[in-house]
Structure 1
Amino acid sequence: MRLTAVAMGTLAAGALVLTGGVSGNTANATSAAAPAVAPAVAPAVVNCPSVSCRSLVSGLGEPVTSVVDASGNAYITYSNGDLRKVALATGATTTVARGLGNLRGVDLDGNGSAYVGDFDGNLRKVNLATGSQELLAGGLGPLHGIVHSAVGVTYATGGAGKLYEVRAGQPVRVVASGLGLSQGIALDGKGLAYTADMMTGRILQTDLTTGAVKSLAKEQYEPTSISVGSDGQVYFAVGSEVTRLNPVTGQAVEIATLRGLNSVFFKVDKSGDAYATDVVSGGGSLWKITGLVG
């Protein structure tokens, strides 16, 4: 994969930026600097399976995406509306809830609840102990990426090209529009969100307060996932290729090729390890790649 990173300025004065309480505007990022070209560095080759890339559980069918909690459990969504829990140490699988719609993204709040989005535009909160569900918002258009922040706010993005902010007891706020189709969303904990537009290959940074959008990079393939590492760098995967993007300089470097995997979901956690799902190997497998982020 060859990725051309472009450092972009904030939106031009004529661009429409969405702030609290406003909806329906389109955020158009415009170039403000010459492309930042990363030095040529051969990416590491990580063989899967190997000591550093191992299958945690297989036979998962066709998982859509997953999230791993601090207790060694993975929560996996399926397009048939199932939310399943998998104990990674034993592979034991239980169904937390059914009938949740054509599921896509999922995230946890660390207090016993999951947040899931479906293709019909519904965002739900699910009690992981009982399976009971609560509809937080509906009619949002196809949802893909879901993330729950440390301060209890849920953000969602998807096929409608909008980034939504959902707070309990408040109207849904459209933070920004014109973001394209992003299957994932990641927060840096400092008020910025990152999304990856599959249609144009843009990696976008959005200010969650103002709705201002920057295009940090654009590439020729389809980025399917995005995450922020503990180092503050942005990571995304295209098939078996993993790229690191510096959000300040716009410099992008392909850091690894996961040989033997063709992942759809890929996420770097705060410890520097990564998780990936592969719907080809083993009828649906969840993999852990250790030490990917130094």
Structure 2
Amino acid sequence: MDSMMRSRTATRLPLDRPARSLTARGRTLGVALALGALLASGAATALAAPAVAATGDVKCPSADCLRIAPAAGSPVAIAPDNAGAVYLAYSGGDLLKLDLATGALDTVTTGLGNLRGVAVADGNAYITSFDGTLQQVTLATGSRRTLAAGLPALFGVARFGTTTYATDTNGEIVAVPDGGTPRVVATGLGFSYGLAFDKAGLAYTADMGGGRILQTNVATGTTRVLAGENYEPTSISVGGDGLVYFQVGDEVKRVNAVTGVQSHVTNVVGINTFSFSLAASGDAYTTGSGGDGLWRITGLTSR
């Protein structure tokens, strides 16, 4: 498939640099509330210098944190397919594939709009955009179709069963069943840039403005707070261990969805990173500021 993809269209590095006015420490709450507007505008802002590594931290670069695609630009969303590739979505509308074995970076398709989120399942990418459109891209061919349009600005996206779910700017989770009509299944979730599901079909979001990690039953719309008092949490992933992982500044934390007990995992230092995407292997993928490539943190869940 890679050779076909390379012959179909040459590798093209996106020029967009989505804004992330987030510092590793001491950020203001207003940043979270303004993030949607910043991402939409694409304005460039500076990030604070990375913190100094301490014992137990993940230092980038190191054996635990390798830059695996130096020219990956600044994707707004990352999705490992757990089959040897990572897909990168860019606010300029490009979807790229990184082959982890060869390092080849190939364009799957372009012109998808003002992208915000990407999820990969069953040979397809599911992509959200700021203009309220949800699209499905067939990864083998690059063909796409619109699953829903005219929605509020969409951010996080996840696939569970035969339904695609997305978070929107109104603090909602929207469900789009295959061949069905979009409907709101949960409200009052604040601003969450990410969305993840566990094996039981419970959804998890990180409310940046409210500092909450939330668990939602999308069948009933009921939501409970798993953890609070986290200053502008970003990212959200469910590990193979069943724990929920998220990021606060340069710190990665996890919370037990049953007990609500949260704990420190590590600090990521040496790069300014906004969020990460967790693979089934326990490795995490992230980008640094200034378009300095894609990084792999090895064995994050085993720390």
* TM-score category of the 2 structures, normalised to the smaller one: 0.7 to 0.9
8 Å contact 1:235–1:245 — kept in the other structure? yes
Match of 1:108 in 2: 120
8 Å contact 2:212–2:230 — kept in the other structure? no
Match of 1:128 in 2: 139
Q: What's the CA shift for 1:223?
A: 1.5
Match of 1:78 in 2: 90
Match of 2:110 in 1: 98
Match of 2:64 in 1: 52
- Structure 1: gaps (5+ residues): 3-41
Distance 1:53 1:72, change over 3 A: same
8 Å contact 2:214–2:224 — kept in the other structure? yes
Asked if 1:257 corresponds to 2:258, the answer is: no
Match of 1:118 in 2: 129
Which of residues 211, 218, 227 is equivalent to 1:201? 211
Could you list the per-position Cα deviations for residues 190-209 of structure 1 after superposition, in whole angstroms to 9, with x for gaps in the alignment? 02100001111111100121
Distance 1:103 1:195, change over 3 A: same
CA distance in 1, matches of 2:275, 2:267: 15
Match of 2:256 in 1: 246
Higher relative contact order (CA 8 A, sep 6+): 1
Could you list the per-position Cα deviations for residues 55-77 of structure 1 after superposition, in whole angstroms to 9, with x for gaps in the alignment? 11112222111111233221111
Match of 2:170 in 1: 160
Q: What's the CA shift for 1:218?
A: 1.8
Q: Which has the higher strand share?
A: 1
SS at match of 1:54: strand
8 Å contact 2:251–2:264 — kept in the other structure? yes
Distance 1:50 1:164, change over 3 A: same
Match of 1:186 in 2: 196
Match of 1:291 in 2: 299
8 Å contact 1:77–1:104 — kept in the other structure? yes
Q: Which runs of 4+ in 1 moved over 4 A?
A: none
8 Å contact 2:82–2:281 — kept in the other structure? no
8 Å contact 2:271–2:289 — kept in the other structure? no
Aligned residue type for 1:131: G
Aligned residue type for 1:195: T
Give runs of aligned pairs for residues 226-237 of structure 1, distance below 5 A: 226-237=236-247
SS at match of 1:85: strand
Q: What's the CA shift for 1:127?
A: 1.4
- Structure 2: gaps (5+ residues): 1-23, 26-53
Q: What's the CA shift for 1:220?
A: 4.4
**Structure 2 length as normaliser, TM-score?**
0.78
The aligned length equals 251
Q: What's the CA shift for 1:266?
A: 0.7
Match of 1:177 in 2: 187
RMSD (Å) for aligned C-alpha atoms: 1.9
CA distance in 2, matches of 1:220, 1:229: 19
CA distance in 1, matches of 2:279, 2:104: 23
Distance 1:71 1:247, change over 3 A: closer
Q: Which has the higher helix share?
A: 2
Match of 1:20 in 2: none
**Structure 1 length as normaliser, TM-score?**
0.81
Aligned residue type for 1:199: G
